[in-house]
Structure 1
Amino acid sequence: MMAAVAGLGAAIGALGRYETTRWVQRVYGNHWPLATLLINWLGSGLLGGLTGWQLAHPLTVLLGAGILGGFTTFSTFSHEVVMLADQRRFGAVIGYLLLSVVGGLLLAAGGLWWGLHFR
């Protein structure tokens, strides 16, 4: 049963990621992987908050493993890093790596703090 809950959430999250990517690229262009960065930052902060909030297990599966798991994307992030490196945009590679990893960790920690304090 929980696999179906996670799968339903993942479908919702993937649709959200697709539409968010399209919107960001339409507004800001596609010269740098801004959409994936923003999606992963948002997902990191929300997952940290969800962890701190400590909801019931089925809701955590739906929102965490499901929606946020389908919304965020490590594979696209990895692909974009490789593509930037293939284009020899090494400054962009380093910047994207640092912003993604450090920013994601800071946002997850901030979300956890928020979740623990406002549950």
Structure 2
Amino acid sequence: MTVLLAALGAAIGAPLRYLADRFVQQHHDSTFPWGTHAANATACLLLGTVSGFALPEWAAALVATGVLGALSTYSTFGYETFALLRAGRRFLAFANAAVSLAAGLGALLIGLAVAASLTGAASLTGAA
């Protein structure tokens, strides 16, 4: 059952990623992969938020693994970074890697902070 819930979530998250990517890229005349960057940062923010709650296993499989796992996409990030390198756009490739990592971790921490404020948790790490 857990696998089916993860698959159902992925069936929702993957089209959301595609639509978000296309929407963002339509509004930028740039070779920088803003659409993938936006989808990944959004998924990290939401994953940080839902990770701050004690979700039952089925909900974590559906939302965290399924929807948000499919919304974010490491393979597309890797491919687009490689494509920038292959096109001789070394600065953009490095910027894509650095900005994606920083934005993903930053968004995750913001999501955890949001969850902590909503649940009344004392800290993000769980330490007293």
Instruction: Give me the TM-score of the superposition, normalised by structure 1.
Output: 0.94
Is the Cα–Cα contact under 8 Å of residues 24 and 34 in structure 1 kept in the other structure?
A: yes
Q: What are structure 2's unaligned runs of at least 5 residues?
A: 120-128
Name the structure, 1 or 2, with higher relative contact order (CA <8 Å, separation 6+).
1
Q: Does 1:6 align with 2:13?
A: no
Structure with the bigger percentage of helix = 1
Instruction: Give me the TM-score of the superposition, normalised by structure 2.
Output: 0.88
Q: Note the 1:1-119 alignment, pairs <5 A.
A: 1-29=1-29, 31-119=31-119
Report the Cα distance in structure 2 between the residues aligned to 1:61 and 1:23, rounded to whole angstroms. Answer: 27
The alignment-based identity, stated in percent, is 32
Determine which structure has more spread, i.e. the larger CA radius of gyration: 2
SS of 1:31's partner is coil
Report the Cα distance in structure 1 between the residues aligned to 2:30 and 2:18, rounded to whole angstroms. Answer: 14
The amino acid across from 1:95 in the alignment is: A
RMSD after superposition: 1.1
For 1:77-116, what per-residue CA distance to the aligned partner results, in whole angstroms no more than 9, with x for missing partners? 0001100001111111111111100111111111112112
Is the Cα–Cα contact under 8 Å of residues 6 and 62 in structure 2 kept in the other structure?
A: yes
Count how many residue pairs are aligned between Structure 1 and Structure 2: 119
The amino acid across from 2:8 in the alignment is: L
Is the Cα–Cα contact under 8 Å of residues 21 and 38 in structure 2 kept in the other structure?
A: no
Report the Cα distance in structure 2 between the residues aligned to 1:54 and 1:112, rounded to whole angstroms. Answer: 12
For 1:18-66, what per-residue CA distance to the aligned partner results, in whole angstroms no more than 9, with x for missing partners? 1111211222245210000000000011101110122222111111001
